Every structure is written in C-alpha cells, then in structure tokens.
Amino acid sequence: MSHEGKIDVYLGLDVGKGEHHGTALTPAGKKVFDKSLPNSEPRLRELFEKLPARYGNVLVVVDQPASIGALPLAVARDSGCAVAYLPGLTMRRIADLYPGESKTDTRDAAIIAAAARTMPHTLRGLAADDEAVAELNMLVGFDDDLAGEITRTKNRLRGLLTQIHPSLERILGPRLDHPAVLFLLERHGSPVQLRKAGRWRLVSLLRPRAPRMAERFVADIFDAHDEQTVVVPGTGAAALIVPSLAGSLTAVLDQRKALAVRIEELLEAHPLAGVRTAARILIDVGDGSGFATAGHLAAYAGLVPYQQTFALL
C-alpha cells in the first residue's frame, strides 16, 4: 500500500472493546507514544490531533477495521490522519518473527506500528466513503447468526418429532424449510392434532401455500401417522413446543429473506456484484487493489506455504 505524502509517525492501535493500546514510531524507529486510551471519541481525537501537531503527518493503523476498530478509524479520518489496517493473518505471521510468545496489547500495538514503518506493503487501504462495505459486514454477520439459529431450531424440531413419532418426522423433518409445512405445524403441532384436523382440512390449509404438493403431502402424513399406534410420553408437551418452534423458525427464515434482499441491493450498487459468497469476499478482500500481486492475495488468504509467506508479501 502506498500513501500520498510523507509519513512522520506510524501509530499502531491494538483495538479493544473498552480501550485500545497505541504505539507510535517515527520513520527512524523512535517511540514517541506508548499508552492505553479509552474507546471514546474525545480521548482518541485528542491523540489524533496532538501527534500531527507535534510531529507532522500521522498514519493510523489497526488490525481490526470493523466492529471495535470502527470508531478509532472514523475519528482518525475526521482528524485528518491517514488510515490503514494490517490484516489479522499477516499480523499473526509477523508476530511470529518477534521474540516472546505471550500476546499482550502493548506487544501487538508495537508490532502493528513496526510493520507499518518497515513493511508498508503488508497494509491494506481503507476507503473513507466505503459505507456499503461496512453495512455488508454488519448484515452478513447477522445473516451468519440467523443461519445458525435456523440450524439450531430445525434440529430441535426434528429431535422432538423423532422422539414422539419417528415416522412423521421422516415426512415433516426434511421439509422444514417450506413455509407450508411450518404453517401446518404452527396450527397442528402433534400427531393427535393432525389426525383430528382430518385430511380435507389439512389439504385446505396447505393448498394456497403449496398447490402442487398439498394432497400428496397430506396423504404421506396420514400414512406415516398410521404406522404408530402408541402415544409416547411427552407428546402432550411437544404439542405446545412444536408450534412455538415452527413459528420461531418461520420468523427467522423471513428475516433472512429480507436480509438477502438488502444484501443484494448493496452488491448490485457495488462494482463487485454477486451473492452471499461475493458479499463475504467483498468484505474480506475488497476489489483487490490493496494487493500488489496475486501472490500477495494468496499469502493473505493463507493459500501458500508458511515459509513462502514473507517472500510473497
């Protein structure tokens, strides 16, 4: 990465939730700042204005540009400092070159500052106006959370159905992504309730939401139901839990669909368009301009042998 103009101070920030540790080095390697500071705008701004006033142009470098590193970068930009970040994988590999194995905020801040001073090609640039990437980062993280919640809820539902009626689970379990199936389970969450509703009523419920599968699916449900004549202990409790889980799963699936719409809108507005995988690549790699060669990108992604990493960086 290159910077416009001369850099007089390299400030490495090891960012944290409550406070950061900052280490500032001159081009000659002299340490001019080495302290912790709270994660608050007034204290950050004070430092970002004090260093330039005393030494000249300051480059602020962090190892986490999103989440806990977002505020320091925003304040640094607003204070007129240049900003960049050192990718975490590169950071860890550079750290292996330094004596001592214990990870401390002070040590990491010093490593970030030293890397910025001596290996500027390892840094990644940060566009001041890249709000879309910041929003994608947050949305994709939430999408990951929702995907995990969907998996947990489906597993819980399938576990309950298997416990009370394995034959029904074999029919219903694989179709829990279908809105019609979840709609059915919200209203008739137990084998007894399904049987009591009757074939005609179940077909009527399903047909508007799944016209091609309604009759065949209901027939499969009743065939599976008839395979078990005993009522397993806990079936009554499951009749309360299954509809609740089905409703929760429907809500999370709907949330994820709405999120996908927004992610696609952001991607379509960005030069790099695509689907969820593209969103993840955009967050982690950007447009690739921060990598001098394909080797740099391969090293950043961990796709080359460890011994070759620094030759490529």
Report yes or no on whether pTM surpasses 0.85.
no
Extract the runs of DSSP E, i.e. beta strands, from the chain: 9-14, 19-25, 31-38, 58-62, 82-85, 124-125
If one compares 250 and 140, the residue with the highest pLDDT of the two is 250
* Average pLDDT estimate for 226-254: 95
pLDDT at residue 312 is higher than 90? no
Question: What is the domain partition of the chain in residue ranges?
Answer: 9-128, 136-268
Q: Render pLDDT for 26-83 as a digit per residue (tens, 0 to 9).
A: 999 999 999 999 999 999 999 999 999 999 999 999 988 777 888 999 999 999 999 9
If one compares 140 and 145, the residue with the highest pLDDT of the two is 145
| Fold observed for domain 9-128 | Nucleotidyltransferase; domain 5 (3.30.420)
- Nearest Cα to Cα of residue 210 among 231, 180, 237, 187: 180
**The pLDDT value given to residue 311:** 33
**The pLDDT value given to residue 52:** 95
Query: Among 18-22, 40-44, 149-153, 276-280, which stretch is predicted with the lowest mean pLDDT?
Result: 276-280
pLDDT at residue 290 is higher than 50? yes
What are the CA-CA distances from residue 29 to residues 26, 116, 121 (Å)?
5, 11, 17
**The pLDDT value given to residue 65:** 77
Asked if 168 contacts 174 with a C-beta cutoff of 8 angstroms, the reply is no
For 68, the token pair is 């806990």
Pick the CATH number of 136-268 from 2.40.10, 1.10.287, 1.10.20, 3.30.70: 1.10.287
For 310, the token pair is 């620094």
